[in-house]
Amino acid sequence: MRLTPQPNLEALRRLLVLLTLAGSLWTAARAQDDAITERLLGAGIDDAPDHAFATFKANRLINGHSVEQMRARHLLFLIQHRFSTIEEGWYDLFGFDGAQIRIGLDYGLTDWLTVGAGRNSYQKSYDGYAKLRLLRQASGPRPMPLTLNVVAASAVQTLRRPPDPEGRTLPDRARLYYSWQLLAARKWSEWFSTQLSPTVVHRNLVRTAAERNTIFSLGLGGRFKFSKRAALLAEYFWVPDEHLIRSGPRRHFNALALGFDIETGGHVFQLHFTNATGMMERAFVGETTSDFFAGQIRFGFNIHRTFSFAK
């Protein structure tokens, strides 16, 4: 298998633009917080904004991040499990004979900054991320129509390299991948929430010259709460046709996931069906090779368990 390197200057330029935008929004958010504080000091606690609570039940929607943050000094132990496709039926017990798994830890440094890391069996990858909340939906004297977060993540795959027929030695940076996301969500009512997730994924090396290093995607997600502790979930990552291979043996598809979550007090269980294999952005955005509508569907689940270290 021959890898074809491509330059990543364009991705770096886009990253600088995204960071500049994030910095501007962060400055505006801090200025807004200062203004709210001044009003509270002058007018009393009754003028405090009423922030939206539990837009989503977990900090993952299904595959991707949600706008939910870990509370300060709270640790999340997250298990994400994905079986093989169900199309073989009883032969492999509807996919149970094969599986991918990710185990991760997420920690709230503050109420507005979460960091996390995980190990994926998918290509034996390690990943890490930071999620920063810029704005928080609120009503009251200083209303804010939505919650806005930015996520920066990176991953490295540690598969043993096959011998190169031309005797080349690939640099370590060839194993690195990056992603950046802007998460914009709104809780429309006690029962219904939606989220938009513009996403950029960059791969330092790709398999063939036909594949792009940098991929753009728009994630769409929603949650419909149908009981006190359970809700339906939907998530879709659309990628423009020119950014993925749409024909041939390495044909790619947009990632679709449908499921529901159950909150039990100490745990949140998410059960879902999806055509994505990996559980990190560069995998489900740019490397989904199963067709959901052709029966190439995988059953999976996420288990969230939170531990508190706060006084």
* pLDDT number for residue 36: 47
* pLDDT number for residue 266: 78
Structure token pair of residue 244: 């993925």
Q: Rounded distance, CA 284 to CA 235, Å?
A: 11
Largest distance between two CA atoms of the chain = 74
110 forms beta bridges with: 113
Q: Rounded distance, CA 106 to CA 304, Å?
A: 10
Amino acid in the structure at residue 97: D
CATH architecture of 4-308: Beta Barrel (2.40)
The 10 Å CB-count burial string (b at 16+, else e) for 292-311 is beeebbbbbebebebeeeee
Q: Rounded distance, CA 166 to CA 169, Å?
A: 9
pLDDT along the chain (311 residues), means of 10: 51 53 52 49 58 91 95 95 84 81 96 95 93 94 93 91 64 87 96 97 83 92 94 96 76 93 89 92 89 92 92 75
Where are the chain's structural domains? Answer: 4-308
Q: Rounded distance, CA 89 to CA 112, Å?
A: 45
DSSP letter, residue 28: H
Check: CB of residue 170 under 8 Å from CB of residue 162: no
Alpha carbon separation from 151 to 49, 72, 195, 242, 280 (Å, rounded):
25, 17, 14, 25, 12
* pLDDT number for residue 116: 96
